Amino acid sequence: MTASSDLSDPSPAAAPAAAGDPSRSPLRLRAVLLVLLTFGAGTTDVVGFLGMEKVFTANMTGNIVLFGLAAGEGNGADLARCGVATLAFALGLLAGFGIAGRSGHGRVWPPRVTAVLGFVLALQTVFLAGWAMADAEPRGGGLLALIALSSVAMGAQTAAARSMAADGITTTFVTGTLTSMMGGFAAGQGTAAGLRTAVILALGAGAAVAGALMTHAPILAAALSPLVLAAVIAGAFRLHPR
C-alpha cells in the first residue's frame, strides 16, 4: 500500500470500523495518533532545549547545526551534548527499524509499530524518573545520560512512524512533511494535506505548551510526552488486525 493509496483506495484493513461513524475509521484514528505523537515530540524538544542546555533530542537538523556552531567556537561542552544526542538518535533509529521490521507492510497500523512505541515509552519513563530526581536541573554525566535516553526514544519513534509510510509523516520533525505537502500542491495533488497541516501545527502546539510549563512546572512539561504516548499506544490496539 502506498502513502497516496492509504486515503484513496480503501482495503479491508482501512475500511471504516462502523458504517455511519467516520470517527471510528482506522485511517482517521491513525491520523489522530500521528498528530498526538508529533505533539509529544514538540514537547520533548522544548524540554531538551530549555532544560538540557540547548540541545534538541527530536530534531537532528537543528542539532547538527548546533554541533557545527560549537565546533566553530571550540565549545567542547556543546559538542559533547549535541554529539551524544545525534549518536543516540541514530541508535534509536536502528533499534526502531529493527523492531518494526517489514512484516506489517500494507497495514494501517502494524502491531510491531506499537511494540516500538512501547520501547519508547519505557525509555521516556526512565527519562522522567531521572529528570525528577535531578529536580529538572540535570548536570554533568546525568545530563548526558538524559540526553541520550530522550534521543534514543525520539529516534525509535521516528522509525516507528517512518516504517508505516504514512503520507510522509515522521512525527519528530516536519521539514520533510512540509516539503511533501508543497510538492503535492505544486503537482496539483492535495492528498493528505489536512493530515500534514495538522502534524505541522501539532509540533508547534507541543512546543508552546511545554514552553509555558517549563518555567513553573518543568517536571509536568517532561511528563507530557510519555502521557501522550501512553494514550497513543492504547488507541493503537484498536488498529491491530484481528
- Is residue 183 a part of any domain in this protein? yes
Between the alpha carbon of residue 130 and those of residues 124, 137, 149, the distances in Å are 10, 10, 10
Rounded to an integer, what distance in angstroms lies between the CA atom of residue 154 and that of residue 156? Answer: 5
User: Closest Cα to residue 55, out of 174, 178, 145, 134?
Assistant: 145
- Is residue 68 a part of any domain in this protein? yes
Residue 23: per-residue pLDDT: 44
Q: Looking up cell 483506495, which residue turns up? A: 9
- Is residue 8 a part of any domain in this protein? no
Residue 15: per-residue pLDDT: 39
User: What pLDDT digit, counting tens, does each position of 122-158 carry?
Assistant: 999 999 999 999 999 999 999 999 999 999 999 999 9
Residue 12: per-residue pLDDT: 36
User: What pLDDT digit, counting tens, does each position of 215-232 carry?
Assistant: 999 999 999 999 999 999
Check residues 20 and 108 and name the one with the higher pLDDT: 108
Residue 175: per-residue pLDDT: 81
Say if residues 214 and 208 touch (Cβ distance below 8 Å): no
- Is residue 56 a part of any domain in this protein? yes
User: What pLDDT digit, counting tens, does each position of 67-105 carry?
Assistant: 999 999 999 999 999 999 999 999 999 999 999 986 555
User: What pLDDT digit, counting tens, does each position of 156-211 carry?
Assistant: 999 999 888 777 788 888 887 788 788 878 877 777 788 888 999 999 999 999 99
Its domain, for residue 37, covers 31-236
User: What pLDDT digit, counting tens, does each position of 44-64 carry?
Assistant: 999 999 999 999 999 898 899
Q: Is the confidence at residue 106, as pLDDT, over 80?
A: no
Residue 105: per-residue pLDDT: 59
- Is residue 13 a part of any domain in this protein? no
Between the alpha carbon of residue 101 and those of residues 104, 112, 181, the distances in Å are 8, 7, 27
- Is residue 5 a part of any domain in this protein? no
Q: Looking up cell 515522521, which residue turns up? A: 170
- Is residue 18 a part of any domain in this protein? no
Residues 6+ apart with CB under 8 A from 139: none
Q: What share of the chain is helix, strand, coil (3-state, %, to 5)?
A: 75, 0, 25
- Is residue 224 a part of any domain in this protein? yes
Coil, strand or helix at 161:
helix
Say if residues 153 and 145 touch (Cβ distance below 8 Å): no
Residue 191: per-residue pLDDT: 72
Rounded to an integer, what distance in angstroms lies between the CA atom of residue 87 and that of residue 135? Answer: 26
What sign results for the dihedral spanned by CA atoms 144, 142, 126, 202?
negative
- Based on the structure, what is the number of domains in the chain? 1
